[in-house]
Chains A and B, each alone.
Chain A
Amino acid sequence: MNLAGNFGIALNGLRSNKMRSLLTILGIVIGVAAVIVMIAVGQGARARITSQIESMGSNLLMVFPEFSRGPVRGAGGSANTLTREDAEAIAGLPYVERVAPELSGNATLRYEGQTWTAQVSGTTPDMQYIKDWTPERGSFFSDRDISDNAMVAVIGRTAADNLFPPGVDPVGRSIGINRLNFTVIGVLPAKGASIGGQEQDNVVYIPISTAQVRLFGVNNVRLINVQAGSAESMAFLQDSITNLLRERHRIPQGGSNDFNVRNLAAVLATAEDATRIMTLLLASVAGVSLLVGGIGIMNIMLVSVTERTREIGIRMAVGATELSILTQFLVEAVTLCLLGGLIGIVIGFLGSKLISMAAGWPTAVTLSSVLLAVGFSAAVGIFFGYYPAKKAAGLNPIDALRFE
Chain B
Amino acid sequence: MESLPVIDLKEIRKVYPMGAGHVNALKGVTVSVSAGEMVAVMGPSGSGKSTLLNIIGCLDRPTGGRYILDGIDVSEMSKEELARVRNKKIGFVFQGFNLLSRVTAAANVQLPLLYADGKPDKKEMERRTVEALSWVGLREYGHHLPNQLSGGQQQRVAIARALVNSPSIILADEPTGALDTRTGMEVIDVIQRLNFQKKITVIIVTHEPNVALYCRRIIRVKDGRIQEDRKVDHPRVAAEDLKEMPAEVEE
Contacts and interface: CB of A to CB of B under 8 A. Distances in A.
Interface string B82-124: 0110111000101000111011000000011011100100000
A401 interface: yes
A398 interface: yes
Given A318-B87, A322-B79, A397 B119 contact: no
Contacts of B15: none
B47 interface: no
B59 A319 contact: no
A322 B114 CA distance: 14
B11 interface: no
Contacts of A317: 57, 59, 86, 92, 98
B83 A320 contact: yes
Interface in A210-260: none
> Which of B54, B57, B83, B86 has the most chain A CB atoms closer than 10 A to its own CB?
B83
B240 interface: no
Interface string B159-170: 001000100000
Interface in A295-316: 310-311, 313-316
Q: Is the interface of A mostly helix, strand, loop or mixed?
A: helix
B114 A321 contact: no
A196 interface: no
Contacts of B116: 319
Nearest to B161: A318
B70 interface: no
Nearest to B115: A319
Contacts of A313: 98
Contacts of B165: 319
B100 A311 contact: yes
Interface in B52-91: 54, 57, 59-60, 79-80, 83-84, 86-88
A358 B115 CA distance: 55
B102 A320 contact: no
Contacts of B57: 317
Interface residues of B, number: 26
A16 interface: yes
A323 B80 CA distance: 9
Contact of B98 (A2, A310, A398): A310
B114 A5 contact: yes
A321 B84 contact: yes
Contacts of B98: 310, 313-314, 317, 401
A277 interface: no
B171 to A, nearest CB: 10
A320 B82 CA distance: 10
Contact of A16 (B80, B102, B161): B102
Interface string A37-69: 000000000000000000000000000000000
Interface of B: 54, 57, 59-60, 79-80, 83-84, 86-88, 92, 94, 98-100, 102-103, 111-112, 114-116, 119, 161, 165
29 contacts: A12-B103, A16-B102, A310-B98, A311-B100, A314-B98, A314-B99, A315-B115, A316-B83, A317-B57, A317-B59, A317-B92, A318-B86, A318-B92, A318-B112, A318-B161, A319-B83, A319-B86, A319-B87, A319-B112, A319-B116, A320-B83, A321-B79, A321-B115, A322-B79, A322-B80, A323-B80, A398-B60, A401-B94, A401-B98
